[in-house]
């Protein structure tokens, strides 16, 4: 290998392409994503910011053990390009979004987080000029990061500044001021040992609720459970504490606070597409005929409820950036996805916020004068699964999905190819898609009854088994 090719190989290894996901950057901390990577990212983003009239950028981080070092390197890269960094410290992603929308100092924000992934992961969520950077725009960062050379305009600019500021108080104040709770609630808050815990406890205390903290002390190793509320095993402790404390409901947040899953007073899991049914009814009472956005993993019952209440159901690809963009493009007052991202775009500013979604739920319970269990009991029932994760190598999952898309037949089904394969029958549907955040294929099923559920799973096993040898171990 000659010197030029060797240097190109080193640069490629330092900046691995596989961490550039569809809607954020995410990978293994220290190996795939390290301080060198973060500094180069800061330089590449600094070049883009420097080409605009706005040279300031908010930076926040979650509680992961690797986040402090990555945030420091990111800020170094940004300031080296003349950017003025406003350091928000250890906060939630919604609080950073709030700063971008309400702080008045910048339309740019970068969050150091791997969201719901285990403690060994980290990454970055990026907002430039109020737009979430995703897809092709993320891919365009790769050559700039590998080059590592200053942009022509950067050399003429002096080093940027660094200031630290607290946005949490302003964020909590704003939610309290726009909320309307006519009574108090007894809650259990599972913060997953990450940043949402202390902020959520402060917020609900301010709203007059009796909030019992569970795993709300910060520990970036996540010693009690992974910060992923979409996984049922991570909700067991919360379910137990809700019933033991005789609380009205429990709230489970992910690692950066933009997702929520709710537990009823009877200990039942309320999945986010069920929350969306509740929210859709409420929002459509004020916005008749509006588009309501949801992802391909969501229940077919959600679309039915949206239509019944005078709305227009809009299905989109899974991913917070996709849902957020669809909400914005359609001027929709509400969007959400099964993983727990809920986007209010009426009194709120169209970004996903697990804490604010929880407050909106309490408002609805106040207005309806019902418990959450009573509200859930009113919804049309179905048989459904949680997300089923089938491990697949990171560098093989998308190619495997392409193979499945051409090789599987699913006769007499309506097939939606928006994101993976959503296969719909009159009484059931199944989904298989490649995860954008982990080395997995994701499956989910819903049916009118157990017989229909068994039939759709049997169909999937038959169609997938020629391509996935161990599919019977998962469905």
Catalytic residue among 26, 39, 225, 301: 26
Catalytic residue among 116, 259, 324, 341: 341
Instruction: Report the C-alpha gap between 208 and 210 in whole angstroms.
Output: 7
Would residue 349 show up in a list of annotated catalytic residues for this protein?
A: no
Question: Residue 470 CB: number of other CB atoms within 10 A?
Answer: 9
Question: For residue 417, what are the contacts with CB-CB under 8 A and spacing of at least 6?
Answer: 405
Work out whether strand 440-447 and strand 428-434 pair parallel, antiparallel, or are unpaired. antiparallel
Instruction: Report the C-alpha gap between 149 and 65 in whole angstroms.
Output: 30
Would residue 341 show up in a list of annotated catalytic residues for this protein?
A: yes
Q: What is the DSSP string of 304-317?
A: HHHHHTT-EEEEE-
- Taking a C-beta distance cutoff of 8 angstroms, is the pair 385, 445 a contact? yes
Alpha carbon separation from 195 to 57, 122, 124, 256, 463 (Å, rounded):
21, 14, 16, 6, 43
User: Which candidate, 385, 382, 399, places its Cα nearest to that of 457?
Assistant: 385
Alpha carbon separation from 144 to 99, 147, 407, 465 (Å, rounded):
27, 5, 38, 42
- Of the CA atoms within 13 Å of residue 407, those in its CB half-sphere come to 14
Query: What tokens does 433 get?
Result: 């898609």
Catalytic residue among 56, 67, 106, 115: 115
User: Which candidate, 293, 296, 320, places its Cα nearest to that of 134?
Assistant: 320
User: Which candidate, 444, 431, 449, places its Cα nearest to that of 380?
Assistant: 449
Active-site positions read 26, 115, 341
């Amino acid at each position: 290998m000659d010197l030029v090719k060797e240097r190109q190989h080193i640069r490629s290894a330092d900046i691995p392409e596989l961490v550039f996901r569809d809607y954020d950057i995410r990978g293994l901390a220290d190996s795939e994503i390290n301080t060198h990577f973060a500094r180069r990212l800061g330089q590449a983003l600094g070049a883009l910011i420097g080409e605009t009239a706005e040279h300031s950028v908010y930076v926040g981080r979650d509680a992961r053990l690797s986040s402090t070092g990555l945030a420091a390197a990111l800020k170094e890269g940004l300031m080296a390009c003349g950017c003025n960094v406003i350091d928000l410290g250890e906060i939630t992603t919604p609080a950073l979004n709030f700063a971008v929308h309400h702080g008045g100092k910048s339309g740019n924000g970068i969050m150091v987080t791997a969201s719901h992934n285990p403690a060994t992961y980290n990454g970055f969520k990026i907002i430039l000029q109020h737009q979430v950077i995703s897809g092709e725009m993320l891919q365009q960062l790769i050559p700039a990061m590998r080059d590592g050379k200053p942009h022509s305009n950067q050399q003429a600019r002096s080093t940027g500044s660094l200031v630290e500021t607290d946005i949490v108080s302003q964020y909590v104040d704003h939610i309290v001021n726009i909320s309307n709770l006519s009574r108090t609630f007894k809650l259990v808050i599972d913060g997953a040992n990450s940043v949402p815990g202390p902020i959520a406890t402060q917020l609900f205390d301010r709203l007059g609720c009796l909030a019992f903290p569970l795993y709300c002390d910060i520990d970036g190793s996540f010693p009690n459970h992974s910060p992923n509320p979409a996984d049922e095993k991570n909700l067991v402790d919360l379910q137990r504490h809700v019933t033991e404390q005789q609380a009205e409901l429990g709230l489970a947040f992910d690692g950066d606070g933009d997702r929520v899953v709710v537990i009823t007073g009877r200990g039942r899991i309320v999945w986010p597409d069920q929350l969306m049914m509740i929210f859709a009814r409420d929002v459509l009472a004020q916005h008749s005929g509006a588009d309501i956005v949801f992802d391909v993993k969501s229940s077919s019952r959600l679309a039915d409820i949206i239509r019944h209440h005078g709305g227009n159901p809009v299905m989109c690809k899974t991913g917070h950036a996709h849902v957020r963009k669809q909400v914005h493009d359609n001027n929709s007052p509400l969007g959400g996805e099964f993983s727990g991202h809920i986007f209010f775009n009426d009194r709120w500013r169209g970004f996903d916020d697990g804490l604010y979604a929880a407050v909106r739920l309490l408002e609805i319970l106040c207005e309806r004068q019902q418990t959450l269990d009573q509200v859930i009991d009113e919804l049309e029932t179905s048989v459904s699964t949680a997300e089923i994760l089938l491990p697949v190598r990171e560098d093989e999952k998308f190619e495997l999905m392409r193979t499945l898309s051409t090789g599987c037949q699913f006769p007499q089904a309506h097939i939606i190819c928006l994101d993976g394969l959503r296969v719909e029958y009159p009484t059931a549907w199944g989904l298989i898609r490649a995860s954008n955040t982990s080395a997995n294929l994701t499956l989910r099923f819903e049916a009118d009854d157990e017989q229909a559920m068994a039939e759709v799973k049997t169909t999937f096993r038959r169609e997938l088994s020629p391509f996935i040898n161990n599919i019977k171990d998962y469905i």
